[in-house]
Amino acid sequence: MRSLAALPSAVLSPLLGVLITSTIVLSLALPRPAAAQGTAPAAANTPAAKPAAALVDLNRASVEELMALKGIGEVRAKAIVQGRPYTRKDELVRKGIVPQSVYDEIREQVVARQ
């Protein structure tokens, strides 16, 4: 079996890159221990804390909530409200309310709940 030092740099360099990247990804994915007293951080205990990936419901969101989405201004937000109800989120494009490019930006952030 050859030692790592005997490997050509063209092979060793990509391997090192993969190893470093994997280490970083794993360190970010692992849960962090709670504070020294065994409690969670104060921000996580507050009732105002929201999930990072809260979906905007096309059938219930206010104009202001819709305007927080990329590419949705006041005119489009009002058009979304006027176009209710939605059974599927892709109806935004089918009804001509937003262009495909805007829909592609927001589709992971919206939902059409009944």
Q: What is the pTM of this model?
A: 0.55
Among the listed residues 113, 76, 69, 73, the one whose alpha carbon sits nearest the alpha carbon of residue 98: 76
pLDDT tens-digit series, residues 28-60? 655 665 544 444 554 444 444 445 569 999 999
Among the listed residues 59, 108, 53, the one whose alpha carbon sits nearest the alpha carbon of residue 80: 59
Q: What CATH number labels 56-111? A: 1.10.150.320
Does residue 90 register a pLDDT over 60? yes
Where along the chain do its domains lie? 56-111
More confident residue, 40 or 78: 78
